[in-house]
Chain A
Amino acid sequence: MVEMDEMRGVSLSDADGPNFGGYSRREIIDFLYREAQLADEHKYADWEGLWTDDGIYWVPVDGNDTDPTSSVSFIYDNRARLRTRIGMLLTGERHSQVPPSDLARVISNVLIHDQAPGEDIEVTAAFVLIEYRREHIIWAGRVKYLLRPTPDGLKIALKKIVLVDSYDAIRKLGFIL
């Protein structure tokens, strides 16, 4: 959809434009959209397939600057714990997601940051997500990704989600943010 992309400030020529670790801006944004869609649609195994083996899935409390080793986070999953989290969802008995919440998220304001050759690609974005679980629940925040070019395509090495209400009490978070 050329028109929509133009509204986002992404012109078609970007597809051939600067090269981020071998990926165009367009490919990176498509990757984020695909990730968002897999999470919205509860395709847990496919979503888990997007991760590197050393990936960190992180939802801090109290803003952007907390140290996850000395301060508690809503989520700070290494790969093993993320596997457990996904495994629980796959049993169909993770009650907080039985039935799965209906989800729709919008991700925007995507910026791809300069990166040294061979390093992970840093991408920042903002998102709004509506969860419907007996009522509408709004989730929103800023997200930072580190994406790693691998022989199997882009993989997520870090996804850090700073909720707008990270200082406050939040509702249960059984689905994938």
Chain B
Amino acid sequence: MTDVVDDLDARAPLPSIYDYTDLIREDRLDGRLYTDPIVHDDEFDRIWHRGWVYVAHTSEVAKPGDYAIRSMGRQPIIVSRDKAGDINVLLNRCPHRGNRVVNDQLGNSMNFRCAYHAWTFTNSGDLLGVPHPQGYGENFDRSKLGLAKVPRVEIYRGFIFASLSPTGISLDEHLGRSKHLIDRLCEVAPTGEIEVKSGSLKHRMRCNWKMIVENDTDGYHPPFVHSSLFKVSINPKRAARQAIPKPPPDPVVRDWGNGSGELDYTERKRESGPLGWLKRFPQAVVDDYLAKLTERVGAERAMDIALEGPPHATIFPNLFIALNNIAVVQPLEANLTVQWVTPVTFGGAPALDETIITQTQGGLGPAGLLFADDDEIAERNQLGLAAGNPRWLYLARGLGREELDESNGSVVSDSSDETSQRAFWRRYRSEMMDDSPAGVVPDAFEGGCL
């Protein structure tokens, strides 16, 4: 098997013209972080082509032969399930002359054949045959000319992560506490397993990818950016009936370390009853769901899960769990990003599927009642940042009122505070400052400060 990073191995350190501790300060950011193509190239070297990146979910390639094409940074990849049922992450690049071998977004095949000169590979990447092999002479070694394998692949509860560096921190070290965010999503399924089987909305935006990730857990903007939705969806009759409205519990924002942030409105969700975070379902649907979940986790835990639902949180660098959705950013240029939004359904609870799909397409994606407006704001942000000078953006909101939540070790603050953004930037800075080919263990958790 060809080693994809033959040459990368020899390529340390990775010099940059920037000192990222200068660009990223405790309370401010240099605007060039979003606009400069050099920063963007550094990110490919240090984050997308070195560190752990979420690539796909195992249920998207559920059966032997299933495959999906994706990308890691600039690299085109194939995620496939082979005959033995194992997951492979391969470079989608023919070792002969570089043709992109697999071109359908999704499919099922045990073999891949390059269209250019018909070299044929197994779906785990081995070269099966080439036309007229005698032309290569006697020392032609097929075993060295397979599709290159992405050197490290690890799966956590069906979430496939890959790293283009052959050495470096483990997925466990990369995720740290954010593993529990994936757990909180999976636990909602009566089977304990989510399913990704309902397609994706792909959304192209003229903005930097980091702006999207930061906005995902930004609790400051919704009343302003989404005011049109709030105005039309508040039902005046219902509001009038609640003569003295009970103030809902305030959401909070959390820094989980390792670059992960959460906009946590668990307490507010609990007020809406079991499954209320998704929709007010008929009692029979709720009872059936609770009964199935109880079989796996017991009645008390089942009720808690039904009340709290999945989190609203980002995992560095590209994964956003938005309740029953997975959103993934794919950087193209400093000012161009594609975001995939994919509804997640819950194993053992098919009665929820249609509602989940309806909710996803209502709020999210390019036409979403929420996301279309986030997009417009992000694009205008990119236009404003073109100014370049003055240099600084202000990232200090809530710096003085963050607290350690002793119950779980996160740093917590008012939902409007920039705590989760500072979490992202702290991780980002440690990746960007590291010149080794392998990547570093994220900074020890040190609160919300950069």
Residues of A within 8 A of B (CB): 59, 61-62, 66, 68-76, 81, 84-85, 87-89, 91-96, 98, 134, 167-174
Contact = CB atoms under 8 A, between A and B. Distances in A.
Contacts of B199: 61-62, 66, 71-72
Contact of A168 (B202, B205, B233): B202
B343 interface: yes
B369 A59 contact: no
Nearest to B203: A169
A59 B357 CA distance: 14
B421 to A, nearest CB: 21
A95 B231 CA distance: 13
Contact of B229 (A70, A88, A134): A88
B202 A96 contact: no
A171 to B, nearest CB: 6
A84 B202 contact: no
A170 B206 CA distance: 11
A101 to B, nearest CB: 10
Contacts of A172: 203, 205, 366-367, 371-372, 375-376
Contact of B373 (A73, A96, A168): A96
B437 interface: no
A72 B343 contact: yes
A152 B235 CA distance: 29
A174 B373 contact: yes
A95 B360 CA distance: 20
Given A72-B198, A75-B367, A134-B379, 16 more contacts: A70-B357, A72-B360, A74-B201, A87-B231, A91-B232, A94-B228, A95-B225, A96-B375, A96-B376, A167-B105, A168-B202, A169-B204, A170-B202, A172-B371, A174-B367, A174-B376
Contacts of B358: 76
Contacts of B376: 95-96, 98, 172, 174
Contacts of B366: 74, 169-173
A170 B204 CA distance: 5
Q: Which of B200, B232, B353 has the most CB of A within 10 A?
A: B232
A99 to B, nearest CB: 11
A115 B205 CA distance: 42
Nearest to B104: A167
A75 B225 contact: no
Contacts of A72: 198-201, 341-343, 357, 360-361, 365
A95 B228 CA distance: 8
Given A85-B369, A172-B366, A91 B361 contact: no
B19 interface: no
23 contacts: A61-B200, A61-B201, A66-B199, A68-B357, A69-B354, A69-B357, A72-B342, A72-B343, A72-B361, A75-B367, A76-B358, A88-B369, A91-B231, A93-B228, A96-B372, A96-B373, A96-B376, A98-B376, A134-B383, A169-B366, A170-B204, A172-B371, A172-B372
A74 B372 contact: no
A173 B357 contact: no
Interface string B343-374: 10000000001100110111001110101110
A47 to B, nearest CB: 16
Interface in B304-339: 338-339
B167 interface: no
Nearest to A78: B358
A173 B372 contact: yes
B228 A88 contact: yes
B377 interface: yes
Max chain B CB contacts within 10 Å: which of A59, A66, A71, A98?
A71
A173 to B, nearest CB: 4
A74 B232 contact: no
Given A61-B199, A85-B369, A174-B367, A73 B227 contact: no
Nearest to A73: B361
Contacts of B343: 72
A37 to B, nearest CB: 21
Contacts of A171: 203-205, 366
Nearest to B233: A84
A81 B362 contact: yes
Given A76-B358, A88-B229, A70 B353 contact: yes
A122 to B, nearest CB: 24
B61 to A, nearest CB: 17
Nearest to B106: A62
A72 B202 CA distance: 11
Interface in B228-248: 228-229, 231-233
Interface string B186-230: 000000000000111111110000000000000000000101110
User: What are the 8 tightest A-B residue pairs by CB atom distance, in nearest-first order?
Assistant: A169-B202, A87-B232, A173-B367, A96-B372, A88-B228, A169-B204, A93-B228, A172-B375
A89 B372 CA distance: 12
Contact of A93 (B198, B227, B360): B227
B232 A88 contact: yes
Contacts of B105: 167
A171 B198 CA distance: 21
- Residue from A59, A70, A98, A134 whose CB has the most chain B CB atoms within 10 Å: A70
Contacts of A81: 362
Contacts of B383: 134
A39 B395 CA distance: 41
Contacts of A71: 198-199, 357
B365 A91 contact: no
Contacts of A91: 227-228, 231-232
